[in-house]
Amino acid sequence: MELYELIYVSVATRDISAADLKSLLDDARRKNAQRNVSGLLVYHHGEFMQLLEGGKEEISSIYHRVVEDERHRQVNLLWNGPIRERSFANWEMAFLGLDDLMLDRTEGYSHFLESEFSAQMLGGAPSIGKDFLLSLRNDFLEKKN
């Protein structure tokens, strides 16, 4: 199977609690494992950024469901292209500003939004999508300050 990656950003239509994010993480990890899809979902101040990795049809299908999902607005596809290998072995999630649950101890939680995260920590072969993802990450972190 040829691998593809897809990156989009969107804005949440409502506030999302830590409990909602944990439920989203658990549900997505289960479903994406069945589809052989991996990637990273980032949530920060009402905005989502997601990188999906897998077969072209699978990641396109997930993206189109997001476009139709009432929880998202202003969904923008930023990158979609082939890759040589995955950067994320499992589906992961990163978020900032959520203190009411110990989410950083949850399986699938990613430290992607922490300042010491580097390109080498992504692993896998270099790609346009990974470079773009790290650039977007830096923009997210600048908004935090």
Q: What is the pLDDT of residues 7-60, one digit of tens each?
A: 998 999 998 887 887 788 788 888 888 999 988 888 777 888 888 999 999 999
Quote the CA–CA distance of 49 and 11 in Å, as a whole number.
9
Fold exhibited by the domain 3-144: Alpha-Beta Plaits (3.30.70)
- Tell me the C-alpha distance between 114 and 96, whole Å: 9
Q: Is the separation of the CB atoms in 27 and 35 below 8 Å?
A: no
Q: Using an 8 Å Cβ cutoff, are 82 and 4 in contact?
A: yes
Q: Residues in the chain, how many?
A: 145
Q: In what order do the strands lie in the sheet with 91-95?
A: 72-83, 3-12, 47-54, 38-44, 91-95
pLDDT digits (tens, 9 = 90+) for 59-105: 999 999 999 999 899 999 988 999 988 887 777 665 544 444 444 55
Phi-psi region of 123 (alpha: psi -120 to 50; beta: other; left: phi over 0): left
- Report yes or no: 49 and 42 within 8 Å, Cβ to Cβ: yes
